[in-house]
Structures are given as structure tokens and as C-alpha cells.
Chains A and B, each alone.
Chain A
């Protein structure tokens, strides 16, 4: 290890980062080879998930001590490298993605076997590669590396979305890939080239203030690039490029859970916020007045997606639109450009992940136990599936932002941030969205606990889903509560980001 002193603390060159990438990649390789032995295959998944999580955990203490871990893999052109970096910002996402992979690995074992799904080897292989991509995004040191892993995630999740290989699956997957590659090629590729032409480099600086651009950069061009980056990372679900997300819900539920509540969509918001804070920098965004208008723009997504969620009877579709809405919370918070706003946005990466994965896990458990997809058919089910619906209720409280669940921390910080920035409109957006959240989550829980079973559909034969599903979903909802009561674990990283 060699240590180089830098303006923002120490930069430590370490190959640990590379190993963190090799683990899921190697895992996917072993999984693909062990297709004929399901038990061996699943244990490869779980073991790699555990190793990855422990490797990410081992980076916590150096990062919290103010160090930045760094490793350069390849030099493509002058100023364009494939380099990895673990700083406080990357740790938030890396911890979330790697810890929830463990839960999802257990859960998908129960789900896929419970439903006797086909092509489980392909499924598990692609799943591991997707995590590889997500970890790569979390640890990317520059825009090129980020783009590289972003595209890897797009491509390797395609087979997951198209998993069922029926007409609906193809349609959803087609929409998925068309939206994601078109926006990436159409917006990100020219942005990369333009930024390279303007600055001669694609490296992110080490704090959130300075940004990549020279002081004399053409402000119209920078504004255009900012818009390109907002839309280019379309995995962030900002309207109008959000349609792929509900479309991707044709995938098996573990995919929806980990990828479309955690890894894929968080890759989108992570990239967006990384580029906003580190690429453009708070100072430049303030100077060009890019913050509040963007906050209003994504505020539209927050409200609109919630309104659409109200109209959906399919539980996964409702959760999908809820995700669209909640993702924009993160961008909205960051765009407030005040310390509390940024805190609220970034902490929501973790808070939303744990709560939303619980909700998707519950939707999958309900489907495995009852083969019901629609909310209207779930009346009274809580009496036979108390753990699943209990977890669901807790997680939906988090989405609403009620104490003591994680979502409350977000909402608190966001509200303080809004008041700091003095924009009344954003305050109204947050309040309206909270009410709408109640509007589409409360009926689900209420009907499940207090509703009557429809005539002719007795309780006989309905019981909780297998333990390998119930335990992960209860764990995830428990974590939602814990990080609501003790938010400091993730808050430390956010504070380190803000500096």
C-alpha cells in the first residue's frame, strides 16, 4: 500500500477494490458452471454475496477515517482510465447493494424453486453480473468507468427482465433495453465526448464543491450537459424516461426486488447524484442556478408517479410507480443544494433500498403463497400470512415517512432542507407526495388485515411462503426500523460526503 497525500485527505492505492469486483464476477462464472447441481449453484451465489459484503465492510473503517481507496486498472487514453475509488459516497451504495444481495440470494432461492421457474442458472448468473456492475458503478472513480459499469448493468439485466420468454416478457424487455440504451447512447456518449473535449479528463474531483469544469466553461454548454446527464442515466426513473421501469416488472419478483428497487434504479440515481455533486459541483450548480429548477422538475415526477400508483391494482405495478416517485426524492434532495437537502437525498438511497426491497419481497411471497398479483384479491390474507403483511405494513410506513421507520429520517432532512432553501413549492410537493403515499399504501395494509375474504375463496391451503423468503423479508423490514432509530451508520458517510 502506498499513501499519497491529497487535498481532501489520504488517497490509498489498494487492490482490495479490484477483489471486490472479482468476487461477484467469479461468483457468476462458478454459478454458470454449476447449472446441473442447484444446491451447489445457490451456495456459490450466497457465498459470493457474503464474501462481497464482508469485503465492503472491511472498507468502512478506512473510509470513515477520511481515507479514499483508489486503484487504477487500465489507461485508455490520456485522462480516460478505468479506475476504482471507494469514498464515503460510494460506500453508501456499495453497502446497500452488497448487503441486500445476501438477502436476495436467499429469497430468490425460495422464490424460483417455489415456482419451479425455468433457466435458473442463467437467472443466477445474470443476477451476479448485475451486482458486479452495481458495485463497479459504486466504486467508479471517473465518468468513463461509471459509464462502463452502467452499460454492463443494462445489458446483463436484459435476460432477467425477459426471463419468462413469453410475449409480455419480450415486450417489457424490449422497452427496457430501448429506453436504457437509447438514453445512454444519445445523452451520455456525447456528454462524455464533450466533457473530454472541454476538460481533457473524465476524472471526478474529491469533494462536492469544485466539479470538473474549468471556470471559463461556456455556461449554456454546461447547462445542456447537466440536462443530458439527468436524462442520460435513465435508470433514475425521472419522467419522461421512466416507462422502462413499470415495463420491467414482468421479471420474476426477486429481480424486481433487488434490481428494480435497489441495484438498477439506485445505479441510476447514484450516477445522477455523483455526476451532479462531483461532476458539476455544488458551486457551479449554484452559480448557474441549476438546483431548484431541477428540484421542481423532478418534483413533478414525485407527485405524478404517486398519482399513477393510486390507479394501479397490480401490486408490483403500484410498487413500481412508488419507486419512480421515491427515486426522484433522492435527486430532489440533492438538487436543493443545502446540507440538509443533500443529506436527505443521499440517506434515502439506503432508506428506500431496505424498505422497498421489503415491499417487493412481500409481493413475491404473496404470489408464491397464493398466486395473487392484484391488491383487490388480497383482502384478509394477513390473517394467514401475518409475518409477510406485518413486514409490508412496516415498510410502507417507511415509504410514507412515519417515525420510527427509516423513511422518516429522509423526510425530516428533506423538509429541513426545503425550508433552508426557502422554496415553498418543493415543500408542497413533499407534503402532497406524503398524502398520496398514504393513499396508495394504507388501503393495501388495511384490506389485508381487516378485509373479508371474497366469497368462494377460503383460507384453506394458504400459508406463509417458505422460510427462505419470509426470513429475508422480515430481516429487511427490521433493518428499515433499525436504521430509522439509529440512522448514524449511514449518516456518518453522508456527513463525510458533505464535509
Chain B
């Protein structure tokens, strides 16, 4: 257990994971819609508050998993309840706990039927997502990974738009197909090592052929989740049909599971395969960036536009990961957070408009700047953040990814640049319509206090990360360095292997 720093005293991680679940159980018995809303809000807010010590008590000097918890679960199969977080998962955990209260706030009036069930789904979802980022045992991870599917399926299928059944089934099938491959990979690794402990699977010298197959199985599972082109087609359908909170969770957190998987599993467990297949994935990332950009440019539906922009933005994340250097990896992790903040905020904005106009078409919102100045100010800032305007969060992430990319391969880095131009193009196009073209909508009311409170925290993060990212980057340094070291060890071993015979 030398990879784990055990948590002394209060089991913080387990509390954070299971508090929403406990809240969901109590919610079963609460009467009255407003009571249910307030309860969900209270549970998610308390969870956000108690997750903050994770940051303040986080040890920056070690790459080990912190706040560790270890309980034997099924000893005959060597399955344990092991949890811990490092510099890669810390920010994702915090992003999850901080975004959930905003999801509840954003659904306050949006969801009109089955409030209790909706909030229960959100809370179960939170438990599963947090668990995925914290689990250090593969069986635990897999159970939570699969557990996310059901509440998400329900969120889309019950509270979604007109084509909700199609979208939810598509989402379910795609992700399930990936998960099956993940399960195969897990069992293969178990048979090799006799353990389900994720950190103990790292640093083993698997045969390179075996690594390739395991990597491919991992890759399929995670690439669908990211989603990487060409596995992305479930995403626009799911986003368009999902209710606001569903879209926010999808964009802000669920997509990060894929890239988190790359960082947690592909790189340290199968480093040789990462080295040999990485270049192909870089080109796939470039394809995703360009494809996402071009497709977003052609959308007339705001949610679809943002959904395709996600494909492009996540392409930058995978690009940063597979260059395997510090700037690229840190940029990628930061970009995961940035995308969560910015795209989540954009979906909240679209949801607020949908409540007013019952339309997601850009054309139905043209010229609303004169009627809804507060809303349009928020939308403008989040759009600028999305196109990586300097001094906003996405710029720092994108710049780090590009710096990492240019220091390794100038051609691939240069090929991704048109993606940055396209991001500016589709966001400016959206803004041009919303700000200017058209007669405006005098019948619409501007944002109310609840909606401003929903968006304001995200706005703070846009500028905080954009202007002073050091608090966010500093937690990553040690873990990212260790990750690079894990890959480098394999690289040296491989060279040695090639030289000896």
C-alpha cells in the first residue's frame, strides 16, 4: 500500500461520495416540490463545502494518492474498497461537487414534473461520478462507471425533449459498448497480475503485444466517452434532448471521464502501447478539433453548436495528453476543468433561454441584446471564454497545450491551429446573431436573481483561471511529473530491450 497515504480520522472521501446518496434516500420521503428542491440544493451545497478541505489539505509534494481509504471487500477475489485522489483527480472531484449545486439551481423551474425523481437522479449521479474519480480499485471503478449510465439514461429519457427515447438509447448503447471492452481489459489485467488495485497494475512490465490489446480496449471505452471523432455521434443527440442539468453534467463531467481514463489507465498501465499508438491518437485529435469546428459552424441549434464545439475542445485535451510532456498534460487537465466551467455555463445559458422561448434555434433569439442585457453579457463572456480569448480560462489551457505540442511536433500543432480559428468563427457567428441581427424580443424578461447566482460562480472561475491559474496548476505538478516518469521508464526499458539482443 505504499502508493496510498491513508486518511487519518474522518473518512472525507467516503463522506463526499455517499452524502448525495444518503440525501437521495431521504428525498424519497420528503413531501412538497419546493422542499424537495431545497433539500437537493442543500445536500449538493453541503457536499461542495465539505469537499473544499480536499484542496486546502492536499499535499503538493507527493505523487501518492491522498486521503486514502482501504477496506477489504471480497477477499476471495482480492477486491477491495480503495479510494484516494492525486493531483490529476483532485480538480475533477472539486469541479463535480461545485457544479452540482448549479445544476440543481438551473433545473429549479426548468423541470416541472417528477421533481423528486429528477433530484434523486441528480444525487445518485453525483455519487457515481465522484466515486469514479476517486476509485483505486478496478471493480469499484467499473461498478460506479456503469452506475452513472442509469441515472443519466433516465435524465434524458424522462425529462428530455421530443426525441428523448432515441437519444437516451443511443447514449446508452454507445457507452455500454465501450464499457464492455473496458471490462474485458480489466479481466485480462486481473489474470496477469492477480489484483484489481489500479496503482498496483501500473509499472508492471507487460509484453508489448498484450499492452496494445489492453490499450485498444481502454481506448474504445474512453474515446466513446470523450467523445473522439468518429465515436462522437451520440453526443449531439444526447445534448439536444437532455434537460439543462443533464447537458451540464454531460458536458462538464461525463466527458472528462474519458480523458481521465486516458490519464489514469492508458498512460501508466500500458505505457509502451501509449508510445507506439500515441501518434495516431494525436492525428485523431486533430481530426476531432477540425471536424468539431466545421460542424459547429453549420449548426442553427444552439445546443448542437455547443455540443460540436465540445468535440473540438475535447480534441485539444486529448492532443495535450498524448504529447506526453508536462506542458501538454497540465494544459490538458486544465482544459478539462475549463471546458467543464465554460461549456457548463453555456448550456445553462441556453437552458435559461429555452425556458423563455421554448426554442433552441439561434434565429429565434436574434437581437435579444437590447432586451436582455444581463443575459447577453454572461453569454458574451462565456462565448469568449469558449473561443479561448486571452485572459479567460480556456486561453491558458489551450496555450499550454499548444506550447506542449509545438515543443514536440510543429506539424501536428500547426494542423490544430485552424481549430482555434474555427472556434472563433462559430462563437462569433452565434454572438453576431444574438447581439445584433434581428428585431429583438421585447416580450422576454431578463435574468432573475436565481439565474444570476447560478452563472456568477462560473464567471468567477473563467477569470480566476484565466488570470491567476497558479493555484490550479500547482496541484498538478507532482502528479504530472510522476506520470511522465512512469511513461519514460517504459521508454528506457524498451530501448534497453532493443539494444540487448
Enumerate chain A interface residues (CB-CB to B < 8 A): 74-77, 80, 82, 119, 144, 147-148, 151, 155, 159, 162, 165, 170, 173-174, 177-178, 181-182, 185-186, 189-190, 192-194, 196-197
Contact = CB atoms under 8 A, between A and B. Distances in A.
B102 to A, nearest CB: 26
Contacts of B467: 74, 76, 82
Contact of A186 (B399, B402, B417): B417
B2 to A, nearest CB: 32
Given A76-B467, A170-B436, A190 B396 contact: no
Contacts of A151: 389-390
A82 B395 CA distance: 13
A74 B466 CA distance: 10
Contact of B436 (A148, A162, A185): A162
A82 B392 CA distance: 12
B428 A170 contact: no
A186 B421 contact: yes
B425 interface: yes
B92 interface: no
B35 to A, nearest CB: 40
B413 interface: yes
Contact of B417 (A170, A178, A190): A190
Contacts of A75: 468, 470
A193 B403 contact: yes
B162 interface: no
Contact of A185 (B414, B424, B432): B424
A147 B405 CA distance: 20
A76 B424 contact: no
Residue picked from A77, A170, A177, most chain B C-beta under 10 Å: A77
B440 to A, nearest CB: 10
Given A77-B469, A80-B399, A165-B437, 11 more contacts: A74-B467, A75-B470, A181-B421, A182-B425, A185-B417, A185-B420, A186-B417, A186-B421, A190-B413, A190-B414, A197-B407
B418 A186 contact: yes
Given A147-B390, A155-B384, A177-B428, A76 B396 contact: yes
A430 to B, nearest CB: 36
B184 to A, nearest CB: 39
Contacts of B370: 119
B282 to A, nearest CB: 16
Contact of B420 (A77, A148, A174, A189): A189
Q: 5 tightest A-B contacts by CB? A: A193-B402, A148-B390, A74-B467, A181-B424, A185-B421
B105 interface: no
B428 to A, nearest CB: 6
Given A76-B469, A165-B436, A193 B420 contact: no
Residue picked from B384, B424, B466, B468, most chain A C-beta under 10 Å: B424
Overall SS of chain B's interface = helix
Contacts, number: 81
A181 B468 CA distance: 25
Interface of B: 370, 384, 389-391, 396, 399-400, 402-403, 405-407, 410, 413-414, 417-418, 420-421, 423-425, 428, 432, 435-437, 466-470, 473
Contacts of B466: 76
Contacts of B428: 177-178, 181
B400 A178 contact: no
11 contacts: A74-B468, A76-B467, A82-B467, A144-B390, A159-B435, A173-B436, A178-B428, A185-B421, A185-B423, A193-B413, A197-B403
Given A159-B436, A165-B436, A182-B421, A190 B406 contact: yes
Residue picked from B384, B391, B405, B413, most chain A C-beta under 10 Å: B391
A154 B207 CA distance: 55
Residue picked from A151, A173, A197, most chain B C-beta under 10 Å: A197
Nearest to B416: A190
Contacts of A119: 370
A497 B246 CA distance: 58
Contacts of A185: 417, 420-421, 423-424
A77 B424 contact: no
A178 B424 CA distance: 9
A144 B468 CA distance: 14
A148 B392 CA distance: 10
A193 B407 CA distance: 9
A148 B403 contact: no
Contacts of A190: 402, 406, 413-414, 417
Given A162-B436, A189-B417, A82 B391 contact: yes
B413 A174 contact: no
B403 A170 contact: no
Contact of A192 (B396, B399, B437): B399
Residue picked from B390, B402, B405, most chain A C-beta under 10 Å: B390
A152 B115 CA distance: 43
B468 to A, nearest CB: 6
Contacts of A144: 390
B435 A170 contact: no
Contacts of B420: 185-186, 189
B398 to A, nearest CB: 8
A181 B403 CA distance: 20
Contacts of A74: 467-468
B406 A193 contact: yes
A67 B418 CA distance: 42
A155 B388 CA distance: 13
B313 to A, nearest CB: 15
A77 B410 CA distance: 21
Contacts of B425: 178, 181-182
A178 B417 CA distance: 15
Contacts of A159: 435-436
A155 B380 CA distance: 10
A478 B396 CA distance: 47
Nearest to A170: B437
Contacts of B402: 189-190, 193
A388 to B, nearest CB: 32
B366 to A, nearest CB: 11
Contacts of A165: 436-437
Contacts of A194: 406, 410
A80 B400 CA distance: 11
B85 to A, nearest CB: 24
Given A77-B469, A193-B413, A197-B406, A182 B424 contact: yes
Contacts of A80: 399
Contacts of A174: 432
A144 B435 CA distance: 28
A75 B407 CA distance: 22
Contacts of A197: 403, 406-407
A148 B391 contact: yes
Given A174-B432, A186-B418, A190-B414, A77 B406 contact: no
A159 B380 CA distance: 13
A159 B437 CA distance: 11
Contacts of B436: 159, 162, 165, 170, 173
A121 to B, nearest CB: 11
A60 B43 CA distance: 59
A58 B52 CA distance: 47
A189 to B, nearest CB: 6
A488 to B, nearest CB: 37
Contacts of A177: 428, 432
Contacts of A170: 432, 436-437
Contacts of B399: 77, 80, 189, 192-193, 196
